[in-house]
């Protein structure tokens, strides 16, 4: 049996890039606002974002050896009571290191890359979100740049979005 061509069309999507500079707090406010919209308007797949920290490569490499250091003390303990104490100490250390990581990242630049992924019959909804997001408060000061499917830098932005975690 020979299958015909797929009936689903590839949905064209758009990106909005926000550069928050070194203002980590504004970037977190923007993330929080996007999460609220995703939940309120059920935009799980249609509105996605990723945080880009180009200068944080050194921060990530410093935080990776830490879990191995935590695992070693837990393995050395022999009794159940000492495991609980060491486990609590390890979790306290991990929360402290999590608090240090944003402080270290705040010295670098923070950018937010938002992907709007609406189907072809939802063009009006996509345009409304393209107009609304950059006009809201935490996004206004972040020099928003809209990148449509036909733009020259679209391919590079698309690859960058896919590589970000």
Distance CA 10, CA 126 (A): 15
> Does position 88 have pLDDT exceeding 90, yes or no?
no
Asked whether residue 147 is assigned to any structural domain, the reply reads yes
* CATH number of the domain where residue 24 is located: 3.30.70
Contacts of residue 46, defined as CB under 8 A and 6 or more positions apart, other chains included, come to 116, 117, 118, 122
DSSP symbol at 114: E
Residue 152 CB-density burial (10 A; 0-12 exposed, 13-18 middle, 19+ buried): exposed
- The pLDDT value recorded for residue 59 is 44
pLDDT tens-place string over residues 40-75: 999 999 999 999 998 765 444 333 333 444 444 444
Q: Determine contact, residues 131/144, Cβ cutoff 8 Å.
A: no
Alpha-carbon dihedral of residues 132, 133, 138, 139, nearest 10 degrees? -120
pLDDT tens-place string over residues 73-86: 444 444 444 444 44
Q: Is the domain of 64 the same as that of 93?
A: yes
pLDDT tens-place string over residues 17-40: 999 999 999 999 999 999 999 999
Asked whether residue 149 is assigned to any structural domain, the reply reads yes
Q: Is the domain of 28 the same as that of 71?
A: no
The total domain count for the chain is: 2
Q: Is the domain of 65 the same as that of 28?
A: no
Q: Is the domain of 50 the same as that of 112?
A: yes
Full domain range(s) for residue 146? 14-55+108-163
Higher pLDDT, 131 or 11: 131
pLDDT tens-place string over residues 120-158: 899 999 999 999 999 999 999 999 999 999 999 999 999
Distance CA 106, CA 94 (A): 19
Among 104, 119, 136, give the residue marking a domain's end.
104
């Amino acid at each position: 049996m020979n299958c015909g061509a797929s009936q689903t069309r590839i949905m064209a999507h758009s990106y909005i890039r926000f550069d928050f500079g070194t203002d980590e707090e504004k970037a977190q406010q923007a993330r929080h606002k996007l999460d609220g919209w995703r939940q309120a308007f059920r935009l799980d797949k249609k509105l996605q974002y990723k945080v880009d920290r180009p200068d944080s490569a050194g921060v990530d490499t410093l935080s990776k050896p830490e879990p191995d250091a935590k695992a070693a003390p837990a393995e050395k303990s022999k009794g159940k009571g000492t495991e609980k104490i060491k486990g609590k100490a390890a979790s306290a250390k991990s929360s402290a290191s999590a608090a240090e990581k944003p402080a270290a990242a705040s010295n670098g630049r923070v950018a937010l890359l938002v992907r709007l992924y609406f189907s072809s019959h939802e063009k009006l909804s996509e345009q409304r979100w393209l107009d609304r997001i950059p006009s809201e408060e935490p996004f206004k000061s972040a020099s928003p740049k809209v990148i449509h499917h036909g733009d020259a830098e679209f391919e590079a932005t698309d690859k960058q979005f896919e590589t970000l975690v």
